[in-house]
Amino acid sequence: MTTRPLPTALVRSLPATVPFVGPETQERERGRPFKARLGANESGFGPSPRTIAAMTRAAGDMWKYGDAQNFVLRTKLAEKLGIGIENIVIGEGIDGLLGLVVRQYVETDQPVVTSLGAYPTFNYHVAGFGGRLVAVPYEKDRENLDWLLDAVKREKAPLVYLANPDNPMGTWWDADEITRFIEVLPPETMLILDEAYGETAPEGTLPEIDVSRPNVLRMRTFSKVYGLAGLRCGYAIGEAQTIANFEKVRNHFGMTRMAQAAAEAAIDDEDHLTWVQAQVEIGRQQLYRIAEDHDLSAIRSATNFVTIDCGRDGTFAMNVLKELAERDVFVRKPMAPGLDRCIRVSVGKAQELDIFADALGDALGAAKAG
């Protein structure tokens, strides 16, 4: 038997899994590419021409590390949001920041509250740092704020996760309801308010930014409407000391110069942001029509995807997903009981949504026959 260094007991206890199986992995296994990439909630509309130009200019300087303080990017964000530079930390997408938050606030076996079926990468970090997940069911396809609060108080949880708008269902709460939740949350509990889809939400969804509360961290990203998922750039907004604590644990040279330059340019290009927001709304309406054409129910969405109720159980919805993949369409689905009856389809360019529309009828028929 080969002798080898042993990882910690915690690492030995964890399954060797990843939160998502990427489309590239699936394409390698299938031996052919997808014709419609509609599963990862990326922006198929891409970054703006100004952003691409900024990345091109940055390419020659990629022999240099990025600015460890992300000074220019934080300054631009601070000006845009009307807050101080000390209220912003930059990270390798929201995913990277989630791991840093769990590392800061969760000890081994401590309870962490989330919703059953909410963003699984957060759960992955909680498990990786030895926390204990306390999952609250959705109610009518929305995260239930009162049930989350009850679980926080019952468990005396140091951390709670809430996405608004929600992934994977696309539903949302108005700003007043989120503010109410924040006001009654125990002050010793840190709230991660994931606003990755905030730019595609209706007006009145995002509360006014208040950086006076030390127990609220709001997460945002350049991966969605800005079209920069491949560069991994996100940021957290919070009270100054709460943000300063990230300096103790973050990867100070984690942001590349190209990611910094791209995000800086994206902030300045308001016209492209407005155009993408309009395209997302057009795509959502097209997906609603596609669902209706196939006698399915689409859940109204505040995100750049639409969740479609397949009308049966989770096994049937999984078969629909597999049949779509056979027809070269990549989508994903919720996996939690009650939500798993659905598939989740990202907004894409019109031609990709046409491919989905053409494949859906056959996929449904094959799933029913199977």
How far is residue 47's CA from residue 52's CA, in Å, rounded to a whole number? 7
pLDDT tens-digit series, residues 61-111:
999 999 999 999 999 999 999 999 999 999 999 999 999 999 999 999 999
Cα 237 to Cα 82, 122, 129, 223, 261, distances in angstroms = 11, 18, 23, 17, 20
Q: Looking at the chain, which residues constitute the CATH 3.90.1150.10 domain(s)?
A: 20-45+271-369
Cβ contacts of 81-87, under 8 Å, gap ≥ 24: 81/209, 81/237, 82/209, 83/209, 83/211, 83/237, 84/211, 84/240, 86/240, 86/243, 86/244, 87/211, 87/237, 87/238, 87/239, 87/240, 87/243
Average pLDDT over residues 185-192: 98
Residue 181 DSSP one-character state? H
| Cα separation, 194 vs 235, whole angstroms | 10
String of DSSP letters for 268-311:
H-HHHHHHHHHHHHHHHHHHHHHHHHTT-EEEP-SSSEEEEE-S
Q: Does domain 49-268 have CATH number 3.40.640.10?
A: yes
For 153, residues 6+ apart whose C-beta sits below 8 A from its C-beta are 186
Judge whether residue 20 has pLDDT over 90: no
Q: Where residue 297 falls among pLDDT bands split at 50, 70, 90?
A: very high
Rounded to whole angstroms, the Cα distance separating 74 from 184 reads: 30
Specify the pairing of strand 159-163 against strand 142-143: unpaired
Residue 245 has pLDDT above 90, yes or no: yes
9: buried, middle or exposed (CB in 10 Å: 19+, 13-18, 0-12)? exposed
pLDDT tens for each residue of 109-132: 999 999 999 999 999 999 999 999
Q: Are 301 and 307 in contact (CB under 8 A)?
A: yes
Mean of pLDDT values over 232-246: 98
CATH superfamily of 20-45+271-369: Aspartate Aminotransferase, domain 1 (3.90.1150.10)
* Closest alpha carbon to 324 in 296, 359, 291, 292: 359
Radius of gyration of the chain from its Cα atoms, rounded to whole angstroms: 21
Residues of the chain with CATH 3.40.640.10: 49-268
Task: Cis check for the bond before 165: say yes or no (omega within 30 of 0).
Answer: yes
- Alpha-carbon distance of 360 to 345, in angstroms, equals 11
* pLDDT score at 75: 98
**pLDDT at residue 171 greater than cutoff 80:** yes
Backbone dihedral angles phi then psi of residue 236, each to the nearest 5 degrees: -115, 145
Name the one residue in this structure whose structure tokens are 């990867």: 251
Q: Which residues contact 64 (CB under 8 A, 6 or more apart)?
A: 257
Read off the pLDDT of residues 24-40 as tens digits, 9 standing for 90 and up: 999 999 999 999 999 99
What's the pLDDT at 243?
Answer: 98
pLDDT tens digits along 318-366: 999 999 999 999 999 999 999 999 999 999 999 999 999 999 999 999 9
Q: Which residue has the tokens 């206890």?
A: 13
Residue that has been written with the tokens 């990629």 in this structure: 62
